Amino acid sequence: MTFVESLAEKAALDLSRSKSVVALTGAGISVESGIPPFRGKGGVWEKIDPAYAHIDTFHNDPEKVWEVLLKGLKDLVDRARPNPAHEGLARLETLGVLQTVITQNVDGLHQMAGSTDVIEFHGSFAWHKCMDCGSRCPNSELDLNRLPPRCRCGGIFRPELVFFGEMIPSHHLMRSEQIASECDIMLVVGTSAIVQPAALMPVIAKNAGATVIEINKEPTPLTGTISSYSIMGKAGEVISDIVAELELIMKPQ
Ligand code: OAD
């Protein structure tokens, strides 16, 4: 048995004894679905200046932000399908083990995999909103032949995601804080855990006495500090291992 396998077994055992489990996910969970992370090698911010993700830049030059950042993001989101990590978290819900996913991702892949209680902390790319009349347009119907995409009223569409410089919707923030403070296990999957206030959720969970289990390809600021233990590896493989171990534990003898 490898070290990772034994940690997957430990996580499965901890999950089998838990009452309330929440997962906090980040871009790393969607890497195996073909969506690059933001930071690190091959990350979005290596090629594109993160200033393009700031709301002031969008207001000043929406055409440029659609051209440089959002058009490419739409292409990626349109093509992506859930991977074994998203499916594994949905399976944990079916098994009655995981209640809620708090995701920083805007790709909708948790819902596509079958998770039913997903807090989209940074909003979603599924819908776009006219900045003039407030009409909403589903992503599948957005016309990008001319940029920026426009509403019938002539107003410009923006994705319903949280740009840098914008507040997290207060209902998402409050519910996430509440759930983090009440869970007994938080799975932290594929996030660099440096963007606030999302990165505060594991700290809230830890301070309230929860076990924080981190799943990531590399160490983060949580590793060895907030995380009770870390399982280093690809999210798809690690979560599949955990689910397999858990199914063995839960199988009627
Ligand atoms: P990051 O790109 O900052 O971090 C991705 C994390 O996933 C890193 O810690 C990687 O080591 C890890 N990772 C990569 N591939 C993995 C894999 N296959 N399995 C497991 N882990 C893997 O993404 P986030 O933490 O989600 O905000 O970034 C947070 C926020 O910063 C985003 O929501 C976005 C961004 O700017 C906004 O747009 C508001």
* pLDDT tens per residue across span 200-233: 999 999 999 999 999 999 999 999 999 999 999 9
Is 175 in the same domain as 66? no
Is 118 in the same domain as 234? yes
Sort strands 100-103 and 21-25 into parallel, antiparallel or unpaired: parallel
Q: Which CATH number characterizes residue 224's domain? A: 3.40.50.1220
Among 133, 161, 189, where does a domain finish?
161
**Spacing, Cα 214 to ligand 1 middle (Å):** 13
Residue 41 banded pLDDT, cuts 50, 70, 90: confident
> What is the average per-residue pLDDT within 180-191?
98
Is 107 in the same domain as 153? no
Backbone φ and ψ of 159, nearest 5°: -70, 150
Q: Is the pLDDT of residue 69 over 70?
A: yes
Please report the pLDDT score of residue 146 as a whole number. 94
Is 177 in the same domain as 221? yes
Is 74 in the same domain as 135? yes
Q: What whole-number distance in Å separates Cα of residue 178 and Cα of residue 252?
A: 34
Query: In this prediction, what percent of the chain has a pLDDT beyond 90?
Result: 95
Q: 2 versus 206: which is more confidently predicted?
A: 206
Please report the pLDDT score of residue 3 as a whole number. 56
> What is the average per-residue pLDDT within 28-33?
98
Q: What is the pLDDT of residues 122-142, one digit of tens each?
A: 999 999 999 999 999 999 999
Please give the mean pLDDT across all residues of the chain: 96
Please report the pLDDT score of residue 252 as a whole number. 80
| 150 three-class SS | strand
Among 110, 140, 161, where does a domain finish?
161
> What is the average per-residue pLDDT within 3-10?
80
> What is the average per-residue pLDDT within 62-70?
98
Is 129 in the same domain as 23? no
Ligand 1 atom showing the smallest separation from residue 194 Cα: 25
**Spacing, Cα 28 to ligand 1 middle (Å):** 5
Full domain range(s) for residue 143: 42-79+124-161
Would you say the CB of residue 32 lies under 6 angstroms from ligand 1? yes
Domain count across the chain: 2
Pocket test for ligand 1, best of 4, 25, 38 (most atoms within 8 A of CB): 38
Q: What whole-number distance in Å separates Cα of residue 229 and Cα of residue 235?
A: 15
Please report the pLDDT score of residue 125 as a whole number. 96
Q: What global pTM score does this model have?
A: 0.96
Q: Would you name the residues annotated as active-site residues?
A: 122
> What is the average per-residue pLDDT within 183-209?
98
CA atoms within 13 A on the CB side of 17: 7
Q: What is the pLDDT of residues 135-161, one digit of tens each?
A: 999 999 999 999 999 999 999 999 999
Which amino acid does the sequence have at 119?
Answer: I
Is 109 in the same domain as 130? no
Is 62 in the same domain as 16? no
Residue 40 banded pLDDT, cuts 50, 70, 90: confident
Is 87 in the same domain as 66? no
Q: Which CATH number characterizes residue 52's domain? A: 3.30.1600.10
Is 149 in the same domain as 234? no
Is 102 in the same domain as 10? yes
Is 198 in the same domain as 235? yes
